[in-house]
Amino acid sequence: MKGEDVKNLKDSKISKKVKKIYGVVLAAGESKRMGFPKQLIKIGDRSMLQWVLDASLSSRLDKVVLVLGYMKNEILKSLGSFIGDPRLMIIENSRYKLGMGVSISCAMEAIKDRCQYVMILLGDMPFVREDVIDRLIEAYLLSGKGLGAIVTDERQTHPVIIRREYFPYLLSLCGDKGARKLFKSNLDDLFTLYFPFDSRDLDTPQDLNGLDFSLKDIDKHP
């Protein structure tokens, strides 16, 4: 989808008919492979999670749902002014040890009747940008498909967007499985947008190599 095809979407009839689009940022995990809570790692002048929230809250998403679990209180303290944003909703997943699927279903239980679409973002992808989110929303809505995903570096990645008829599947998720199976099982209803951006998710200490990062705020984590 070319930029000129979607640049006027906000003024189009399509955009006027669109119901609410919520973003869900998954940040409840224990960061076992990293060895310390990656939500608190500073990259440049802000934490990894703050980068994701900044992009999400600057985008066309109507509301952003942040799912926390492990070290919830410490992470909340680190978010600063983001906490006061009226578009930010914070959900606690007390069963975070069970994995990503539980975090998704936990968020969906809270918002299932509030929106027509949900976009899933990862809290450990600090280089996702506002324009990535907005371009996916715009092109996806024009496609008429039920599922949407970004493709970059020849692979499908987050963020992904899901229409309401698939919410029961998201509500049924458990364990450490996300929505990947849903996308693989519904290729005929999947829209993909090629859009190059830095789609790294930072899972291990090695992933931090070459980045301007700081661990000073997490030296005392359990």
pLDDT tens by residue, 6-61 = 444 444 444 445 589 999 999 998 877 777 788 888 888 889 899 999 999 999 99
Structural domain contains residue 37: yes
pLDDT tens by residue, 81-100 = 999 999 999 999 999 999 99
Q: How far is CA 172 from CA 2, 33, 105, 168, in A?
A: 35, 26, 6, 6
Q: What does residue 3 show for φ and ψ, rounded to 5 degrees?
A: -60, -40
Structural domain contains residue 5: no
Enter the pTM of the model. Answer: 0.85
Q: Which two tokens stand for residue 124?
A: 């450990």
Residue 190 is part of a domain; what is its CATH number? 3.90.550.10
Q: Which two tokens stand for residue 190?
A: 């999947």
Counting other chains too, the contacts that 186-189 makes at CB distance below 8 Å and 24 or more residues apart are 186/146, 186/147, 189/145, 189/146, 189/147
Structural domain contains residue 14: no
Range of the domain at 91: 21-218
Report the alpha-carbon distance of residue 63 to residue 83 in Å, rounded.
Answer: 13
